[in-house]
Amino acid sequence: MSLARCSAGSDAEVRQAAAPFAHADGRQSALQLVTSFGPFLAGCVAMHLAAQVSWPLALALAVPTGALLVRVFIVQHDCGHGSFFASRRANALVGRMCSLITMTPFANWSRQHGLHHADWNNLDRTGGSDIYSACLTVDEYLALSRWRRFLYRLPRHPLIANILFPPLVFVLLYRLPFDTPRAWVRERWSVHLTNAALVCLFGTLALLLGWQEVLLVHLPIMVVASILGVWLFSLQHRFETAHWTVRGEWSFVDAALRGSSWFNLPRPLHWLTGNIGFHHVHHLNPRVPNYRLAKAHRAVQALRPVVPLSLGRGLTASFLTLWDERRGRLVRFRDARDASRLSPAGGEV
């Protein structure tokens, strides 16, 4: 079917196309546990063995091992949606087990992530506070003072947002329930219990192997995984053809298919990232487990074709930070600066 026939298939039909894939397969889930935890733990063992011979070799192995940790995180992510297993108890158990490796409190992160799925790519809701999945409009940005523009731009610089900040989030910020409402008692306990479990886990490893080795093996893994994971997260709703709307114009299916990316990765990278590249289908139906997303995508694509985001375009998507209401697209800060120069009322940014 041609991409030109983008209006084919009603919203109800599109949602119905994904519905048959929204159930877990126990065998596939069990197999994915083996193929996710197995390679990751093997990578950790290899790094510890390499550390006895050469620290540069051990650090080099942190790149593939950190990438494998992203796959483990996707398992936790699916457990949080209740999609990885049919059993709610099994999802909770495996999700908590994953959290000891990802250093991400399961219950807390899952509920926070659920808020994102309730209302995304909505310019009225975001207000520009989330540096990864939210943005100001160009007019809102230009209306800020020079100092507030600087404060808005600084954390969104690609080096800060995608390199420096991600490790701080996973290693330090997730140790505190700093943005968790007081009423979320279970989620706040999730943070504290995860911290206690991490102290036990890494404390035991430090006693057995020495704290220097544990630090120099597992910290680089988390640095690599957090950078890769946050980069993937950032381009799920910020890419060249992404569509953002105000609340009155927002619709669920449109926000899923036009506001969420289909990141057309090579097949090995789809495996490594747990098919999260089919993010438009994930938003269309979060109950579809990651190992069914490709099939669900083909069913949806037959009704409502979506233009893919290439790997090359994904590498530049992090520069898109503002929504230009006039052009109906995301733009860079430099584009906003150029717009202000052309406007009679605009001044230099």
Per-residue pLDDT, 129 = 46
Q: Yes or no: say if 272 and 294 are a contact pair by the CB < 8 Å rule.
A: no
Tell if the pTM clears 0.85, that is, is over it: yes
Instruction: Convert the pLDDT of each residue in 332-343 to its tens digit.
Output: 998 887 665 555
Whether the per-residue pLDDT at 76 is higher than 60: the answer is yes
- Both tokens assigned to 231: 């980069």
Q: Yes or no: say if 103 and 171 are a contact pair by the CB < 8 Å rule.
A: yes
Q: What is the DSSP letter of 239?
A: S
Instruction: Convert the pLDDT of each residue in 204-263 to its tens digit.
Output: 999 999 999 999 999 999 999 999 999 998 888 888 888 888 877 888 899 899 989 999
Dist. CA 269–CA 182, nearest whole Å: 39
pLDDT band at 8 (very low <50, low <70, confident <90, very high): low
Task: Spell out the domain ranges in the chain.
Answer: 11-119+160-238+262-310
Q: Judging by beta carbons within 10 Å of its beta carbon (0-12, 13-18, 19+), is residue 175 exposed, middle or buried?
A: middle
Instruction: Work out the average pLDDT over 291-299.
Output: 96
Instruction: Convert the pLDDT of each residue in 270-288 to its tens digit.
Output: 999 999 999 999 999 999 9
Lowest-confidence range among 31-45, 188-202, 226-240? 226-240
Mean pLDDT of the chain, nearest integer: 89
Per-residue pLDDT, 292 = 97
* Closest-CA residue to 237 (of 114, 320, 301, 300): 320
Instruction: Work out the average pLDDT over 23-46.
Output: 97
pLDDT band at 4 (very low <50, low <70, confident <90, very high): very low
User: What share of the chain has pLDDT > 70, as a percent?
Assistant: 91
Dist. CA 25–CA 86, nearest whole Å: 8
Instruction: Convert the pLDDT of each residue in 314-333 to its tens digit.
Output: 888 888 889 998 888 999 99
Going by C-beta distance under 8 Å and a sequence separation of 6 or more, which residues neighbour residue 257?
Answer: 14, 280, 284, 300, 304, 306
Instruction: Convert the pLDDT of each residue in 118-127 to its tens digit.
Output: 878 888 764 4
